[in-house]
Amino acid sequence: MSLCAITRALPGTAVERLGRVHEVRLWPGEMPPSSDELVALAHDADALIALVTDTVDAAVFDACPRLRAVANYAVGFDNIAVAEAAARGIAVGNTPDVLTDATADLAFALLAAAARQIAQADRYVREGRWRTWSPQLFLGKPLKGARLGIVGPGRIGRGVADRAEGYGMDVTVFDQGDPAGTFERLLAESDFVSLHCPLTPETRHIIDEGTLALMKPDAILVNTARGGLVDLVAVAAALGEGRLGGAALDVTDPEPLPLDHPILTAPHLTLAPHIGSATRQAREAMADLAVDNILAALAGCAMPHPVAVA
Ligand code: GLV
């Protein structure tokens, strides 16, 4: 029997399944463990199920010398030092596929909400500011015939493309490996830009003051991938100065946003608290995949869902 540390209670029955075979040590808090608490939790563990809120880096590996497997409860794995893990023979896995539709649904919902200012309209009604039906109240952007630029040709990006095509949008997909100038052209031509690429040193702040300047002044930016892809201060300034039509963000850097962050007072902003994969079905399936990864690794087998080491 091995020991698996888990940094938060997970939905569904997957952890019970793991507990029938191995000892499970569950972090009891609602808030994530601090780095010291993470090490205290996992110092003698053979395996770890981590969340996007956990930084699993060389310091954690140094302090947890028995670790053989880390399963990230997410498809993105920028919170895990995967090259460090590989160098130490620690297997790392993630939870692809099962959250694709949930995340693509949320991305498209945010896109449509931003296009029609639904969050703003909701506040307007609740605040008692609605006085009458008006020909010019909350005029939004049409989706049919609009161009959507998708940054990242992976499963979720393609899922958003399918949804957009169903709405009659013209979709262009950008891949990091496309010829020079393709990204800039996509930004310049798109009415909506939705980010679906992993966060890497190359993609950090892929949307910044310079790339925002290429976008149409009425374009809408959607981010359901990772907050670090976007320079939020630049987005706040662009929204405030009318150089960007709107932004809909499920992810931000940092998370959560401090209440004095400039983005929170920017106009035409729709926010969500990193809930892309938050359907019960997706979250339970993610727990199953994470446990499958751990069970395989602890049995000396390859993880069924390993991450690719760059
Ligand atoms: C969530 O952010 C994920 O990467 O699955």
Residue ranges of domains in the chain, CATH in brackets: 3-98+280-298 (3.40.50.720), 100-271 (3.40.50.720)
> Locate tokens 């539709």: which residue?
101
Other Cβ atoms closer than 10 A to 65: 9
- Cβ contacts of residue 116 below 8 Å, gap of 6+? 138, 140, 141
What's at 244, amino acid-wise? Answer: L
User: Would you state the structure tokens that stand for residue 45, as one six-digit string?
Assistant: 């563990």
Give the closest residue (by CA) to ligand 1 atom 3: 74
- The rounded Å distance from CA 197 to ligand 1 centre is 11
35 near 59, Cβ under 8 Å?
yes
- The rounded Å distance from CA 76 to ligand 1 centre is 5
- The rounded Å distance from CA 286 to ligand 1 centre is 10
184 near 214, Cβ under 8 Å?
yes
Answer yes or no: 268 catalytic: no
Whole-angstrom distance, CA of residue 116 vs CA of residue 248: 11
pLDDT per residue, tens digit, the chain (310 aa), is 999 999 999 999 999 999 999 999 999 999 999 999 999 999 999 999 999 999 999 999 999 999 999 999 999 999 999 999 999 999 999 999 999 999 999 999 999 999 999 999 999 999 999 999 999 999 999 999 999 999 999 999 999 999 999 999 999 999 999 999 999 999 999 999 999 999 999 999 999 999 999 999 999 999 999 999 999 999 999 999 999 999 999 999 999 999 999 999 999 999 999 999 999 999 999 999 999 999 999 999 999 999 987 6
Answer yes or no: 274 catalytic: yes
The residue from 243, 268, 274, 283 that is catalytic is 274
Q: What are phi and psi of 82, to 5 degrees?
A: -70, -35
Helices 100-115 and 118-126 meet at what angle, rounded to 10? 60
* Pocket of ligand 1 from Cβ distances under 6 Å: 52, 74-76, 99, 276-277
Q: What is residue 30's predicted lDDT score, i.e. its pLDDT?
A: 94
Task: For residue 74, give the ligand 1 atom closest to its CA.
Answer: 5
The residue whose CB lies within 8 Å of the most ligand 1 atoms, and thus the one to mutate among 10, 52, 106, 275, is: 52
Largest CA distance in the chain: 68
What's at 98, amino acid-wise? Answer: V
Give the closest residue (by CA) to ligand 1 atom 1: 74
H helices, E strands: number in the chain: 11, 11
Closest CA to 234 of 202, 270, 196, 261: 261
User: Would you state the structure tokens that stand for residue 181, as one six-digit string?
Assistant: 């100038």
62 near 42, Cβ under 8 Å?
no
Task: For residue 274, give the ligand 1 atom closest to its CA.
Answer: 2
Can you list the positions of beta strands (E) in 175-286?
192-195, 220-223, 246-249, 269-271
- The rounded Å distance from CA 74 to ligand 1 centre is 4
The residue whose CB lies within 8 Å of the most ligand 1 atoms, and thus the one to mutate among 277, 284, 289, is: 277
Other Cβ atoms closer than 10 A to 261: 15
Evaluate the CA torsion angle 278, 53, 75, 176 in order and state its sign.
positive
Answer yes or no: 255 catalytic: yes
Strand partners, 3: 23
Q: What is residue 309's predicted lDDT score, i.e. its pLDDT?
A: 72
Give the closest residue (by CA) to ligand 1 atom 4: 76
pTM over 0.95: yes
- The rounded Å distance from CA 80 to ligand 1 centre is 12
Task: For residue 95, give the ligand 1 atom closest to its CA.
Answer: 5
- The rounded Å distance from CA 253 to ligand 1 centre is 14
The residue from 163, 196, 226, 305 that is catalytic is 226
Q: What is residue 310's predicted lDDT score, i.e. its pLDDT?
A: 64
H/E stretch holding 147: strand 147-151
User: Would you state the structure tokens that stand for residue 7, as one six-digit string?
Assistant: 């940094």
Closest CA to 304 of 24, 78, 17, 95: 95
286 near 101, Cβ under 8 Å?
no
User: Would you state the structure tokens that stand for residue 21, as one six-digit string?
Assistant: 């075979």
| Ramachandran area for residue 219 (φ above 0: left; ψ -120 to 50: alpha; else beta) | beta
* Whole-Å CA distances, 269 to 16, 248, 260, 283: 41, 6, 15, 27
Give the closest residue (by CA) to ligand 1 atom 5: 74
